[in-house]
């Protein structure tokens, strides 16, 4: 099972945009890889349409997305047309055709002895360093909250750039937490206007100090 901070495995696959090498697709970007149990399923249909509507928000964060379904390319084309008809959006991002379950098994999205593909429903956030930063597993009945994925992406990018963490229920623009790797003196120097020491282990700064 792939865990957070593991190197994301490379693979080659056919997609709705043509063949890809996954490492070449990442190419120094933040990347979201999300899988679906099967084409022509109702929850997944709403998810792909919702993600397309939010695609400008992902692009704003320099994040590229790629989907996966365990069906062949011919089915992908027909399903994408259904998504456009029912959701009002035609997904512009690539969709992997994983009909041999190569990628699903490589990423632990479904176990080798699984009787069907309905356990394949996972989100991976992968950093520019090709390491897994987040893994989320969902049951087939629960549609994903892509606003939450955007929220976590904001948190991950802030941590990577500023050595800050985010508190419970944090939203973009709210106060941030100084990580243990940063001393009081370093934090005071970096964030002189808002550094606040509540407890030795709980120190905050204002998001506004990140805006240059």
Q: Tell me the two tokens of residue 210.
A: 């990140």
55 catalytic, yes or no? no
Q: What residues form DSSP beta bridges with 64? A: 31
| Rounded Cα–Cα distance for residues 94 and 80 (Å) | 11
| Rounded Cα–Cα distance for residues 40 and 71 (Å) | 10
Active-site annotation holder among 13, 44, 95, 125: 44
Q: Tell me the two tokens of residue 20.
A: 């890809």
Positions marked catalytic: 44
């Amino acid at each position: 099972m792939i865990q957070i901070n593991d190197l994301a495995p490379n693979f080659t696959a056919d997609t709705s945009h043509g063949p890809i090498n996954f490492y070449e697709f990442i190419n120094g970007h933040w990347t979201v890889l999300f899988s679906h149990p099967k084409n022509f399923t109702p929850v997944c249909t709403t998810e792909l349409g919702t993600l397309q509507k939010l695609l400008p928000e992902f692009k704003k964060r320099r994040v590229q997305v790629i989907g996966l379904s365990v069906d062949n390319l011919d089915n992908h084309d027909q399903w994408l047309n259904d998504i456009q008809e029912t959701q009002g959006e035609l997904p512009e991002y690539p969709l992997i055709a994983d009909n041999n379950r190569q990628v699903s098994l490589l990423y632990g999205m479904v176990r080798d002895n699984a009787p069907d593909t309905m356990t394949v429903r996972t989100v991976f956030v992968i950093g520019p360093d090709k390491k897994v930063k987040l893994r989320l597993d969902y049951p087939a009945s629960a549609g994903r909250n892509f606003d939450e994925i955007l929220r976590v992406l904001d948190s991950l990018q802030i941590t990577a750039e500023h050595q800050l963490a985010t508190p419970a229920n944090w939203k973009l623009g709210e106060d941030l937490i100084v990580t243990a790797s940063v001393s009081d003196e370093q934090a005071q120097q970096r964030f002189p206007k808002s550094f606040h020491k509540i407890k030795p282990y709980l120190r905050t700064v204002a998001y506004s100090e990140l805006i240059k």
